[in-house]
Every structure is written in C-alpha cells, then in structure tokens.
Amino acid sequence: MAGAVKRAFRYRFYPSPGQAAELVRTFGCVRLVYNMALQARTEAWTLRRERVGYNATSAMLTGWKKTGELAFLNEVSCVPLQQALRHLQVAFTNFFAKRARYPTFKSKKRSRRSAEYTTSGFRWRDGRLILAKMTEPLDIVWSRPLPDGASPSMVTVSQDAAGRWFVSLLCEDVIEQTPATGAVGVDAGLDSLLALSTGEKIVNPKHERRDRAALARAQRSLARKVQGSANRVKARLKVARVHARVTDRRRDYLHQLSTRLVRENQTIVIEDLTTRNMVKNHRLARAISDAAWRQFRTMLEYKTEWHGRNLVVVDRWFPSSKLCSACGALAERMPLHVRSWTCRCGRIHDRDVNAARNILAEGLSVIACGGGARPQRDSSRPRQSSTKQEPPRATQGIPVL
C-alpha cells in the first residue's frame, strides 16, 4: 500500500555574489512588505474598525510600487512579496480563530530570513533550479536525491544566523506504507531521553552540554566586541555556528529515533507534555529545552500519518509514574529524585519503564473503550476499605508489559 504526500526536501546551496545580493534584497523587501501590510491592517481596524483582507493588501502593494520611495520593490520578484501577504493573512486567520497571538512585526536582526517562490517564480529543468530575476541556476549540494519524476511545486530560500544558505523544495512523494505489528509506550525524560514499554532506555545525548564550553567562550568573545564593528559581526557568526552545530545534531538524532519507532510499531503512545510550562522551572529549563520533546512529538505526528500508523496521546494528568503497572496501586507521592520504587504488591519498578508501560496500557484503553481505564488489578490481593471510588479497571485482553 502506498500513499502520496507532500514532502519538503531541504538542501544547502552556495550562491554566487550576484545571487546572494539579489536574495538579500528580496529578504529585505519581503520583510518590509509584511510590516507595512501589518501596520495598514492594524491602523484600519484601530481607527475605522475596518477589516482589511489579502485582496486589499495586494492592491496596496501595487500602489506602493508606483511611488517614488518604494519603487525599489519592482527590482525583486513579485512572487515572494505576494507570499508574504498570504502568510500575514494566515497569521490573522489563526489569531481570529484563537490559535495564535496577534501578528508581530518582523525584525531585521531576529526574524528568519526567507523568501517563498511558487511555480511562477522559478524554473525547474533537468535538476537545475533558476529563480526569478536570476539567469544562472543555484549551486545546490544534492545530499539526497529527489523522488523519481518529482517536480517542485514551491521553493523556499532561506539563510540562517550562521550565514548558511538553504533551499527547500516541496514535492509530491509516494511513501510505501508497509504493515507493522505491535505497540509501544514512550515516556520522555532527562536522565534517559526516552524509556520504552519494552524496557529499553534510549540515552540522552545532551547535545547542548557537549558544546557548552565552546559556546561560553564564543559568547564571552562576542561580549567584548564593540557594537557595530566588523569584529563583532565575526564573533556573532562564531556563536551562531555553535548553536547551528548543536541544532543540527539534535535534529538528526531525533529524526533517526522517530523513524525507527514509526517503522517498528503500528501504534505509538506518548504523553501530552506541556513543555511551555515545564521550562518555567529554571533548574530544569536548559535540560528540557535541550531534550526537544516538542520537536520529537511533531516528527512522530507527521511520520505516523505518512506511514499509516496510530499515534495516541495520553492525557497530561494521567499518573503514569505513580501507578503500579502490575497491580494498579497508586502511590501517594513520587518525587523526581526517586528513580526506582517498590510497590506494596512486592514489584520493584524502574520509574521511567513503569511509566512507559502505564502509558501504553492507557493508550490501548483509549483505543478500545475511549480511555479512563487503568491496568488490571490483582484480584487475589484484598482491597483496602476506602470511601474514595476506585478508578475503573482495564478491559480484558489489554496486556500488562
């Protein structure tokens, strides 16, 4: 069985001086058009209670190009400028749907430098990509081949803080959805990046910690440089390169890990972690950010969809660490420093592996009966009298691993 999906293939390229200058101008014009359109829409609503949509801002762009002050907008391709207006429209749509905050202005120093080209803004012939307003193809490093017969429907050119140039090609790809069996529960942590319900623990590489000394040296050097000097620009690039190296290693590791889990299992059960709230703990914020749990979950979400797998997300309040996966007894307290504990039924648990097994059992109960179930209790053990209502039992046939 095969499924067609839209995939973006990202490559590094090395522009000529003329191409680099053209792309830098395009980035600046994209940022300017986005900010001017945002200001116009904000003023229209603030002063006149008038909603301005994409069509109105597109007409504004045509007028801006005819003025003497903004005539330079005609020097770059109009396609990335129109795409910037479309992105602003999406930002407002998400805001009105309460999925995001109010759009903010793009910063010259902090915002991502990118330009998006649709099919009318580039030429693709025999593996050669020529962007609008350019005469020569981009010098792309083809680190992996595109799918056979693939033709890009959209091209995004970007430059990161370290000065590296990237091009992303959006193509249609056919993915073979090979059948898989089994299910696995995944518990995210810091000592071990992941603990699986099979008992396997995946080591946490701690990519940021490996380069922490180099990053500190580069940042101290940057702090000593004079504002606006050429040496400060060089020092800033050194800091950015360290960050880029850490980010690349982390992303590659998570890609390999998520791909392996998706290929080996039909059902993957994870926990709904609120990383945004967890990083408020200043003692653990750096380690949590380095673990990149949210990035890992995002990879699982689209890869399970590509390969026809099931991804089940367990409620964040489910007591996976305090619940005995053998008898279902719930411990009263479970501080973070407790890495193993003994249940009253006599079973000795590794904290993370036990949590992964409980997550798996809860995920299977969600699939079977809509959730709310717990691992099967041991009926031979007498229950203690209590006025509190016990949690419902798991359905028969759900394995306790």
What are the catalytic residues?
187, 271, 352
3-state secondary structure the chain: CEEEEEEEEEEEECCCHHHHHHHHHHHHHHHHHHHHHHHHHHHHHHHHCCCCCHHHHHHHHHHHHCCCCCHHHHHCCHHHHHHHHHHHHHHHHHHHCCCCCCCCCCCCCCCCEEEEEEHHHEEEECCEEEECCCCCCCCEECCCCCCCCCCCCEEEEEECCCCCEEEEEEEEEEEECCCCCCEEEEEECCCEEEEECCCCEEECCCHHHHCHHHHHHHHHHHHHCCCCCHHHHHHHHHHHHHHHHHHHHHHHHHHHHHHHHHHHCCEEEEECCCHHHHCCCCCCHHHHHHHCHHHHHHHHHHHHHHHCCEEEEECCCCCCCCECCCCCCECCCCCCCCCEEECCCCCEEEHHHHHHHHHHHHHHHHHHHCCCCECCCCCCCCCCCCCCCCCCECCCCCCCC
